[in-house]
Amino acid sequence: MPSETASTVYPFFARNGYLSNWHPLYEHRPDQLRMARAVESAIRERRHLLVEAGTGTGKTLAYLIPALVSGKRVVISTGTKNLQEQLFYKDLPLLQEHWSRPLRVCYMKGRNNYLCKSKLHGAAEMAILDGLQEVREFEQIAQWETHTLTGDRAEVHGLAEDSRLWPKLDARSDRCTGQRCTHYENCFITNMHRVAHESDVIIVNHHLLFADLAVKDTDFGAIIPEYSVLVLDEAHDVEDVAGQYFGLSVSNLQVQDLTRDVRLLLRSLKRKEPQLENAVNFLDDASATFYQVFSGTEGRVGAQHLPALKAQAETPYGDLLLALSLAGSAIQTRAEGVADFAPLFRRARLLVETLQTWMENPSQEQVHWVERRGRMISLQSCPVDVSDLLREKLFGAVETVILTSATLAVADSFQFITSRLGVESPSTLRVDGHFDYNSQAILFTPAQLPDPRSPEYAPEAIRLLEQILQITQGRAFVLFTSHQQMRLFYNQMHELLPFPTLLQGTAPKHHLLNQFKETPNAVLFATAAFWQGVDVPGEQLSCVVIDKLPFSVPSDPVVSARIQRITAAGGDPFREYQVPQAAIALKQGFGRLIRSGSDRGVLAILDRRIRSMAYGQTFFDSLPPYRRTSSLGDLAAFFGAGPSGFPSTESPLS
């Protein structure tokens, strides 16, 4: 039995080592051992490490075991809920069965995942239930609360992802009174933090990690206890997630939530407060008038339009600041006698500060934009470049950071990711993974399609896609770089194809994914939401088609600002930023297909630029070593050679 003072990870991963004895299906993988040794060295020498570990490497155990052996407190941050649950419910319990000491593990989520006892117990006075569905859900949650130890909503079986009741009962901080709450000592958030401080391994997601980094030096204080080792799994997402939390956002829905909560509190207290009620009504009206100025087209509006919009909003902005000030003062007066008013005052004050920063003091280091999604209108900003912030707050503050993903390198180089994230002189390792891509997959890149930016592209691409799907008998993800293109192809093809077709947006993502898995020969038309974090092993997914090389839209405010910054520094933004970013995105999309040693199928890029443009070689060099063809006959041979139409590893290519 190993001890935590073991000097090497080799005994775990050897052919007849600990893992092979602990798990009957364990398979010795040399690349897994290489990665584990690299992680062990980085932790021991207090260095940062980047590891691109191809699918099937077994990277989770390759970083988990060296981290446990080190005896240091480790935070593992993941990009997906599935990976968090795999770590907490599968990998760590397996190790715990055989470890020489108890492993103290904590699974931390955002506050909105936990039940607030105060809200639950005060629900009757608040009169928050709306309709029979919410009444039934409330009864279920109330019964569950009597015996749950964690308060984690994931334990409430059958509670819909889009439940309208749960946000009224969850423990987010906007109404939390902290130690003044009568439920503080047995609060689920208090207990989560208590367990975290006693844990050796803390499992979080990227959003919680960067929320923590963003507030460490503020009045709110740290969320996650101090740690020596951080593992960033799915590290390809880090730049975008970090940008969200080092920026700011102030929306009309935040104001609406504040006024709603004030009214609910007054109702529960059974008090008439004419001054406060009038202030809240004024705030609602002022907010509606102000945000109406920014209620343009759906999506993002960037810097070129902001000066005119701000000028138009000058008078409504003054009215909104006055309304927030009046409401805040009225709330603060009542907070002296009723603790529940204190968090409402904090929210009003934060809205004023954020709004003033966005309208009056825009930083040159931040990109600003307006975003409208349905009823939400939000004024937002984020850093143009997060590298300096991450260098200071993350890589300069933590002994060892391990960054790993199946998609970090571009054409065998880590230069793009290190420059974007500000990692200075890290160790690097690239392992190809455990699959035989040359026999399991074929990459189809047609030579004759029109340029994807031309009007002739869509009809020709639809005709070719129909031929591909006939060969594969459906069983495909067709992934698009825009919603408009997705809908165009779907509308043309769902009548043509003899296979069931599914469209992103017609149902929640998890419902569509389950429907795809359960429907023979299905074809799913989708966008970026299905490019990563989706796992469909086996014959059901035998084809992944991508319509265009996934370049970010240059007019997007964030992308545009990054391009301008590189240009101003004398660089080449297309070569240094746009191509590498698209190459990593393409690897993510194609990673949906080969998920196990028995998976086989076709990957198709319906964009001739990968063959005709010089930069196309960067994409080819970044992808695994798939066999390549431009012939539909090769696809037919590949699929026709195996039993039941499933491809054989021996099918030759012409």
| Sheet hosting strand 248-251, strand order edge to edge | 248-251, 376-383, 366-373, 299-301
CA distance 491 to 131: 36
Structure confidence by residue, pLDDT tens digits, 186-218 = 999 999 999 999 999 999 999 999 999 988 766
Mean pLDDT of 45-66: 94
DSSP 403: E
User: What region does 131 belong to: left with phi over 0, alpha with psi -120 to 50, or beta?
Assistant: left
pLDDT value for 180:
83
Q: How many Cα neighbours within 13 Å face the side chain of 461?
A: 26
Segment 380-397 shows an average pLDDT of 95
Name residue, tokens 């930069």. 615
Strands 441-444 and 201-205: unpaired
Report the pLDDT averaged over residues 349-353.
Answer: 95
Q: Is the pLDDT of residue 584 over 80?
A: yes
Which pLDDT value is given to residue 125? Answer: 67
Residue 298: C-alpha distances to residues 295, 372, 373 (Å): 8, 5, 6
Query: pLDDT: is 649 or 90 the higher one?
Result: 90
Distance of CA 25 to CAs 20, 28, 56, 119, 433, Å? 8, 10, 14, 47, 18
Q: Provide the pLDDT confidence category of residue 570 given band limits of 50, 70 and 90.
A: very high
Side-chain-side CA neighbours of residue 608 (13 Å): 15
pLDDT at residue 479, as a whole number: 94
Out of 159-163, 349-353, 546-550, pick the least confident: 159-163
- What pLDDT was estimated at residue 218? 62
DSSP class per residue in 69-106: HHTS-EEEEESSHHHHHHIIIIIHHHHHTT-SS---EE
Mean pLDDT throughout 518-546? 88
Domains of the chain, CATH where assigned: 10-104+387-431 (3.40.50), 248-383 (1.10.275.40), 437-645 (3.40.50.300)
Question: Which pLDDT belongs to residue 174?
Answer: 78
Which residues are bridge partners to 405 per DSSP? 52
Judged against a pLDDT cut of 50, whether residue 402 lies above it is answered with: yes
Ranges 156-160, 204-208, 305-309, 313-317: which has the least confidence:
156-160
Q: Under DSSP, is residue 299 helix (H, G, I), strand (E, B) or coil?
A: strand
Of the candidate ranges 37-46, 262-271, 412-421, 578-587, the one whose mean pLDDT is the lowest: 262-271
- Average pLDDT on 515-530 reads 92
pLDDT value of residue 48: 98
The pLDDT of residue 643 is 36
* Structure tokens given for 129: 């239930």
Region of residue 638 (phi > 0: left; psi between -120 and 50: alpha; otherwise: beta): alpha
On whether the CB atoms of residues 188 and 194 are closer than 8 A, the answer is no
Beta bridge partners of 300: 371
- Give me the pLDDT at residue 471, please: 95
**Mean pLDDT value across the chain:** 90
368-375: average pLDDT? 94
Asked if 641 and 647 touch (Cβ cutoff 8 Å), the reply is: yes
What pLDDT is attached to residue 159?
A: 86
**pLDDT greater than 60 at residue 654:** no
Task: Convert the pLDDT of each residue in 291-309 to its tens digit.
Answer: 999 998 888 988 788 999 9
Report yes or no: 91 and 61 within 8 Å, Cβ to Cβ: yes
Mean pLDDT of 578-607: 89
* Residue 650: predicted pLDDT: 33
- In this predicted structure, what is the pLDDT of residue 651? 32
Q: Which contiguous run of DSSP H or E holds residue 449?
A: none
The span from the CA of 218 to the CA of 295, in Å, is: 32
Q: Which of 1-10, 131-140, 242-251, 504-513 has the lowest mean pLDDT?
A: 1-10
